[in-house]
């Protein structure tokens, strides 16, 4: 079994050289009486939050470390789609397709009670079940509908709008009848948002020198909802352009993950007088609406109302570059690595 590890804790921007591939010999047969499940990983998720697990404790940004740390030399767990090779757990049979917590490796041995479920692909590509129809999608759906509580016609701004979560938020918002503006880091992404995904406007934030003025030009009457994926100065600019009773869902602050000195410091007087609600959230808070999210999103995909963007690299060896690329804007849509064919 080959798998990806970090060589040492990663503080600051990640590089490919922070990672290596280790090998171990594992048996693909279970010992008598074992209740483990051995799966062959097919597609694995590549997510920005993993960087926060890789930091050394002293540089951790938060006193609350909700995600278990990743230690040098140890396997790294992630969401993915896999096929059962052997199982002593009566819930799974050999050759079942499953989705759940696997690893950045060729095989994963999952203990009973591990986060794994049988997967019915419902006619969709298996890769959809890594992001769009799994946690990225749930994050977008729950963050937008439950946290932002949108109404038809409201004005919505999304950052990292061509990314895994962002491009879905923008499309849910358009389907509800909102005015939607997104920002992204290349002109190619901006064109995609406007021409393929139906955003009303999009802009390349790297080319703007005055973000407050830029947002003012797209939202002369104010922003009702800001779906924040990036934090820092974009959050500050959004707060200064929010409408009365605006809502900000803080989904993530990727621009702060690799730079501990960088923090959003929005004008709190604005927050008070405009009665802005700023709420962080985790997708895992919303597992109770997973079924609703899944059926709504499947309908939108089947009717062609939503277009998922995926960015799939091939092979275990591509994981370090795929992961590092998230922090340099190299992905368009959900970043996934395909480890093996079914």
Q: Which of residues 193-232 bind ligand NDP (CB under 6 A)?
A: 229-230
Of 4, 41, 43, 47, the one binding ligand NDP (CB under 6 A) is 47
CA distance 187 to 194: 11
Query: Applying CB under 6 A, does 281 fall inside the site for ligand NDP?
Result: yes
Q: Which of residues 159-178 bind ligand NDP (CB under 6 A)?
A: 160, 162-166
Q: Compose the 286-325 pattern: x for residues touching ligand NDP by CB under 6 A, - for all others.
A: ----------------------------------------
CA distances from 298 to 79, 141, 163, 233 (A): 20, 12, 19, 35
Cα 125 to the center of its chain, rounded Å: 18
Of 14, 252, 266, 308, the one binding ligand NDP (CB under 6 A) is 252
Place of tokens 């919303």: 286
Residue-wise burial string across 73-101, b where 16 or more C-beta atoms lie within 10 A, e elsewhere: eebbbbbbbbbbbbbebeebeeebbbbbe
Q: Which two tokens stand for residue 309?
A: 């963007």
Strands 107-110 and 179-184: unpaired
Comparing CB distances to ligand NDP, the nearer of 109 and 230 is 230
**Could you tell me the smallest distance in angstroms from the CB atom of residue 42 to ligand NDP?**
19
Query: Applying CB under 6 A, does 146 fall inside the site for ligand NDP?
Result: no
Query: Applying CB under 6 A, does 105 fall inside the site for ligand NDP?
Result: no
Of 80, 185, 246, 320, the one binding ligand NDP (CB under 6 A) is 185
Query: Applying CB under 6 A, does 329 fall inside the site for ligand NDP?
Result: yes
Considering only CA atoms, give the Rg of the chain. 20
Task: Report helix, strand or coil for 37.
Answer: strand
Residues that bind ligand NDP (CB under 6 A): 47-49, 136, 139, 160, 162-166, 184-186, 189, 229-230, 251-255, 281-283, 326-327, 329, 331, 335
């Amino acid at each position: 079994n080959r798998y990806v590890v970090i060589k040492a804790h990663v503080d600051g921007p990640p590089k490919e050289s922070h990672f290596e591939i280790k090998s171990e010999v594992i048996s693909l047969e279970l010992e008598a009486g074992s209740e483990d499940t051995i799966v062959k990983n097919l597609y694995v998720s590549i997510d920005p939050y993993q960087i926060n697990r890789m930091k050394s404790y002293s540089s951790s940004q938060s006193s609350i470390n909700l995600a278990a740390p990743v230690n040098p030399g140890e396997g790294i767990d992630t969401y993915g789609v896999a096929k059962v090779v052997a199982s002593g757990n009566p819930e799974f049979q050999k050759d079942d397709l499953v989705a759940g917590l696997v690893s950045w490796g060729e095989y994963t041995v999952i203990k009973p009670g591990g986060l794994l479920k049988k997967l019915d692909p419902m006619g969709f590509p298996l890769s959809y079940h890594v992001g769009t129809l799994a946690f990225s999608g749930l994050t977008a759906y729950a963050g937008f509908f439950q946290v932002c509580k949108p109404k038809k016609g409201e004005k919505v701004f999304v950052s990292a709008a061509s990314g895994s979560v962002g491009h879905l938020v923008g499309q849910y918002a358009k389907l509800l009848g909102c005015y939607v503006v997104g920002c992204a880091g290349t002109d190619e992404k901006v064109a995609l948002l406007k021409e393929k995904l139906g955003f009303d406007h999009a802009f390349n934030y790297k080319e703007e020198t005055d973000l407050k003025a830029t947002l003012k030009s797209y939202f002369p009457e104010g922003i009702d909802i800001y779906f924040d994926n990036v934090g820092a100065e974009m959050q500050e600019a959004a707060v200064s352009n929010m409408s009365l009773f605006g809502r900000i869902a803080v989904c993530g602050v990727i621009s702060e993950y690799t730079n501990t000195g960088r923090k959003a410091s929005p004008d709190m007087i604005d927050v008070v007088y405009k009665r802005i609600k700023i709420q962080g959230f985790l997708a895992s808070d919303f597992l109770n609406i997973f079924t609703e999210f899944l059926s709504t999103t499947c309908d939108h995909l089947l009717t062609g109302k939503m277009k998922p963007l995926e960015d799939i690299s091939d092979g275990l060896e591509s994981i370090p570059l795929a992961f590092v690329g998230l922090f340099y804007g190299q992905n368009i849509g959900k970043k996934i690595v395909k480890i093996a064919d079914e």
